[in-house]
Amino acid sequence: MTTMQPVHIQTNYSQNPIKYAPAIPMQEPQPPYDASVAKKEQAMAISYDIAAEYAATDKLLHVMTDIAKEAKNEKNPQRKQILEARVGTVNNMIEQREAKLQQMTSMLEASEKTA
Query: What is the separation, in whole angstroms, between the first and last Cα of the chain?
Result: 93
Q: Which amino acid is at 73?
A: N
Residue 19 has pLDDT above 70, yes or no: no
Q: Select the more confidently predicted residue: 17 or 58.
A: 58
| pLDDT, averaged across the chain | 82
Collapsing DSSP to helix, strand or coil, 68 comes out as: helix
* Contact (Cβ atoms closer than 8 angstroms) between residue 57 and residue 101: yes
If you compute the radius of gyration of the chain from its CA atoms, what whole number of angstroms results?
Answer: 33
Band of the pLDDT at 79, cuts 50, 70, 90? very high
Global pTM?
0.63
